[in-house]
Structures are given as C-alpha cells and as structure tokens.
Amino acid sequence: MKIIGEKINGTRQRVAQAIAGRDADYIQKLAQDQAEAGADWLDVNAGTKQSNEPKDLIWLVETVQSVVDIPLCLDSPNPAALTEAIQIVERTPMINSISGEPWRLDGILPLVAKHRCPVIALAMDDGGIPETCAGRIDAVHKVMQASRSCGVPDEDVYIDPLVMTLATDTESANITLETMRLIHAQYPDTHMSMGLSNISFGMPARANINRVFLILAVAAGLDSAIVDPMDRELKAALLTTQMLLGRDRYCLNYTRAYRAGLFNRKEC
Ligand code: THG
C-alpha cells in the first residue's frame, strides 16, 4: 500500500496562508513530519486561482524538496502549472491528475509519457463527476483508451474512483466501492488511489470515518491513497487489514510495527 501525504494542500486554510505569505518553515515542517511518518509521496496542491498557480506550485515544490527526499505528487488540473513544475522536480513525480476531459488529456498525457511518471486518472469527464458507477466506468474507459494510445503502461496509472462526502449523499461510499470493484476486474494491471479524507467533509469524528472507509476500500482493491500519514490509528488499521487479507507475508509488517510501538495506546 502506497501512501501519499495529504497535508500540503492550499484548500486547507492554514496552508493557503503559508503559501500567500511564503512561510517556508510551516510548509517544510509539514513535509518533514509526513516523510518521517513513512509517506511514499507528498501531495503538493497550491489550491490557488489559475493565474497564480504556476508560481505558487513552483514555490511549494522548491520549498518541500529542499528538506525531504521523497518524490512529490503534483496535484493540479492545470497543464501549464504541471509543465513548469515538472522541469524543476528532483525526483520523478506522480502527476495528479488526468481525467476524461479532452483538455486535460491533451495537455497532460504527453508530459506523463515523456517523463514516464505515474499518473492519477480521475473517473470523471467533461460531464463532471458521474453519480453512477456506470458513468464513472465510462469515464475511466475514455482515459484508459487515451493513456494506452500515448504508450503509458497500465501499471503507471492510478485510477481514482472519486470520493464524495457522505454528508451530501449517504450512497457515496457505496458508489465509490462498487466503482472500485468494477475497475479492479476490468483493468487488473492499473493501481487504484483515492482522496480518503473527502469521505468525511462536514461530518463529526472525521478520523473515525476515514479509518473505517480505508478498510472497506482496501478490501475492494485500493492499493494507494492520499491520507494523513501522521494518523497512527489509521496506520494500525491499515496494517491489520493487509494482514487479515493475506497481504503481509509471515505477518512481518504487523509484528514489526507492533515492536516499534504502533499499537501502544499511550502513544496513539
Ligand atoms: N483525488 C485526487 N486528489 C485529491 C483528492 C481526490 N487531492 C485533494 C483531495 N482530494 C485530497 N486531499 C485532502 C487533503 C486534506 C483533506 C482532505 C483531502 C482534509 N483535511 C482536514 C484538515 O485539513 O483539516 C482533516 C484531516 C486531518 O485531520 O488531517 O479534509 O479525491 N486524485
């Protein structure tokens, strides 16, 4: 299971402030904490208006990669911002994201093919986010047809079934999980990723919802996610799930984490 750290996201108010005020210390602490917690990639999302985005994203990339050596996940729909950011990254980044929207496929897929980056592909198209599984799978077909025709191997594609908050639709987790099962059956060589914390926007006790949803999603085929890597209980739940599903040889990861104190209540 690959973890993408979610914290450096300009839609979070404190991060938006830090970007606007060029507060490198605040961003660098978020980067170091997530890297130490074991993140495989760090999501960087400038969250700003299109005109500011390239320079804000460049500043974030430079600020983050001067203190950590894990790769970045460049989170932007904007081909111009991604094109600039990819010139200055020190390690091959993940691109977040493409979708079935032609302007994103045309603007971003050539970058992905040229730099051989892993890429997140959203299950949506120019009609927006489909409400049904069938609509989301249709969008995935469009993206996969385009990525294959650009020579991007399926193994480099992380399909995102899309997670909407339960607060506005109590079926939203079911729709995401069913979409995942269909994707897993039809595109077995791709990976699957999601923005886990979206599920709990506007709800109380968010960490609890995120944690249980992660377990259900892993059972449905999720092998990567944008999450809070510092949530120790989330990590404990994940290790336990992987072990129960037979994905932890000799229970090594679980027992190692136990010895390292992950399940120690005091420290949770
Ligand atoms: N798919 C893809 N990329 C994405 C999303 C997605 N990028 C952005 C977003 N959705 C995923 N990232 C976040 C980041 C933070 C939160 C939710 C999604 C969030 N954080 C809370 C906060 O900041 O206060 C609480 C969580 C916490 O305590 O850390 O809500 O769907 N491809």
Whose CA is closest to atom 30 on ligand 1? 197
CA 226 to centroid of ligand 1, rounded, Å: 7
Closest C-alpha among 189, 228, 193, 238 to residue 207: 228
Pairing of strands 191-192, 224-227: unpaired
Q: Cα separation of 225 and 212, whole Å?
A: 14
Alpha helix segments (H runs only) across the chain:
13-20, 24-36, 53-65, 79-88, 102-115, 133-149, 172-186, 206-219, 232-244, 252-259
Radius of gyration of the CA atoms of the chain, in A = 18
For residue 244, the tally of other CB atoms under 10 A from its CB is 14
Residue 52 pLDDT level (bands cut at 50, 70, 90): confident
> Based on the number of CB atoms within 10 Å of its own CB, is 227 exposed (0-12), middle (13-18) or buried (19 or more)?
buried
Q: Could you report the per-residue pLDDT of 173-230, keeping only the tens digit for each?
A: 999 999 999 999 999 999 999 999 999 999 999 999 999 999 999 999 999 999 999 9
Residues with Cβ within 6 A of ligand 1? Answer: 6, 9, 12, 45, 75, 96-97, 120, 160, 163, 194-195, 197-198, 206, 226, 228
Atom of ligand 1 nearest to the CA of 120: 32
Q: In this model, does residue 122 exceed pLDDT 50?
A: yes
pTM: 0.96
pLDDT of residue 266: 61
Q: What is residue 235's predicted lDDT score, i.e. its pLDDT?
A: 96
Residues 6+ apart with CB under 8 A from 16: 10, 47, 48
